[in-house]
């Protein structure tokens, strides 16, 4: 008799326990941060930032970099980017 009562309880408790555990795990998908790109050449980074209209403190994502499809000349004498000089002191 007691064995039948336990079977009836487990028949309902096991699926309920699985639902309680699995539904939140499936619903809460972790958000992925975009992959940031590090550019070591200062002039190239400045040109890319100017093309993307980004400030020096904003990260550049790989998706944004992949979106650049054309190369055009730019002037790097804005207040954000210091003018490059060939003579170093």
Is 89 domain-assigned? Answer: no
As given in the structure block, the two tokens for residue 14 are 């096991």
**In this structure, are 36 and 5 located in the same domain?**
no
Is 2 domain-assigned? Answer: yes
45 neighbors 39 (Cβ within 8 angstroms): yes
- Residue 40: half-sphere exposure toward Cβ, Cα within 13 Å: 0
pLDDT at position 78 is: 53
**In this structure, are 16 and 38 located in the same domain?**
no
Q: pTM for this structure?
A: 0.48
pLDDT tens readout for residues 14-48: 777 777 777 776 666 667 777 888 999 988 898 88
**In this structure, are 25 and 39 located in the same domain?**
no
**In this structure, are 37 and 70 located in the same domain?**
yes
Alpha helices in 31-89 (DSSP H): 42-52, 62-66
pLDDT above 70 for 81: no
**For 5-16, what is the mean pLDDT?**
74
Is 76 domain-assigned? Answer: yes
Give the domain extent around 4. 1-29
């Amino acid at each position: 008799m007691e064995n039948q009562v336990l079977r009836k309880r487990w028949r309902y408790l096991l699926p309920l326990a699985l639902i309680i555990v699995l539904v939140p795990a499936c619903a809460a998908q972790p958000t992925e941060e975009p992959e940031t790109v590090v550019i070591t050449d200062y002039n190239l980074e400045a040109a890319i930032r100017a093309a993307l209209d980004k400030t020096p403190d904003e990260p550049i994502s790989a998706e944004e970099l992949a979106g650049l499809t054309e190369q055009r000349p730019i002037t790097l004498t804005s207040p954000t980017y210091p003018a490059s000089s060939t003579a170093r002191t």
